[in-house]
Amino acid sequence: WRCSAGGPSWSGRRSGRSCGRSRRRWGGRAALLGAYAAAVPDPYVTRPDPVLTAELAGAVAARRRVALGYRDDTEAEVDPWALVVARALGTSLVPLRTGPPPSGRTCVDRIRAVRGLDRRFTPPPDLDPVAALEEHLGLGWEFGTRVVFHAPLADVAPWLRPHMGRLEALDDASCVLVGSTRNPAMYAGEWLARVPFGFRVEGGEELRAEVAALAERFARAVEVA
């Protein structure tokens, strides 16, 4: 058998000594890391209250409706379908059933109080909490987007980020992506630019302007001096 640091050995005694040295060496490195390395706090991350998060997790498990009190002094009754930890956003979110539209989300760090109610609910049997959260992250931003791709949905989908919006087939040879963004320049230059299929931006105007500017810059890059 092989010891992680001592190499292959057929002697149990020798292997034991090698593994012991390996554990001591890595243990010492871990101690040094803990003593002299420091993490830089992220000023943009707000940590949710662990007590409230635990109460929400209990409501999800019990399938019980809850009344949420928000930090802006508003309240709402919701059916917490699931609790999702979105590390990239630095917070936990709950896909919710709140009436039209049929589902939504709320940031746990916006909640100041949770009160369990007597009413029960049944979440959708095919619910994918992470997919639902990612889809909703592409909705509700300042600038609307609508992009038609000249390729089948199955070919386009692997190239898109879930929070770019909702992708739907138009026919066997094309599909449309409808969403929103707060950063049209990033949407055009980092997200759409990597898709290896032809497309047409039908909306919104801010995204059309950014795509036009990007196309002009690329065209100038290949001009013959």
Q: Do residues 175 and 112 both lie within one domain? A: no
Q: What is the pLDDT of residue 34?
A: 65
Q: Which domain holds residue 64?
A: 50-127
Assess if residue 133 is contained within a domain.
no
Instruction: Please check the confidence at residue 212 and state whether its pLDDT lies above 80.
Output: yes
Instruction: Please check the confidence at residue 2 and state whether its pLDDT lies above 50.
Output: no
Q: Do residues 216 and 142 both lie within one domain? A: yes
**Each residue's pLDDT tens digit, 109-138:** 778 899 999 999 888 888 887 777 776 766
Instruction: Please check the confidence at residue 225 and state whether its pLDDT lies above 80.
Output: no
Mean pLDDT of the chain: 79
| Domain-ending residue, one of 127, 151, 184 | 127
Q: What is the pLDDT of residue 208?
A: 96
How many distinct structural domains can be found in the chain? Answer: 3
Hey, what are 49's tokens? 């209250």
Q: What is the pLDDT of residue 129?
A: 79
Q: Do residues 54 and 119 both lie within one domain? A: yes
Assess if residue 109 is contained within a domain.
yes
Nearest Cα residue to 137 out of 161, 118, 102: 161
Name the most confidently modeled range: 31-35, 57-61, 143-147. 143-147
DSSP state of 194: G
Q: Do residues 79 and 120 both lie within one domain? A: yes
Tell me the pTM.
0.55
Nearest Cα residue to 165 out of 182, 183, 146: 146
pLDDT grade for 41, boundaries at 50, 70 and 90: low
Q: Do residues 176 and 112 both lie within one domain? A: no
Cα separation, 64 vs 21, whole angstroms: 53
Tell me how crowded residue 78 is: count the other CB atoms within 10 A of its CB: 21
For residues 96 and 79, the answer to whether their CB atoms sit within 8 Å is yes
**Each residue's pLDDT tens digit, 60-110:** 899 999 998 888 888 888 888 888 876 555 445 555 554 434 445 677 777
Helix, coil or strand: residue 86? strand
Nearest Cα residue to 157 out of 143, 144, 171, 174: 174
Q: Do residues 23 and 77 both lie within one domain? A: no
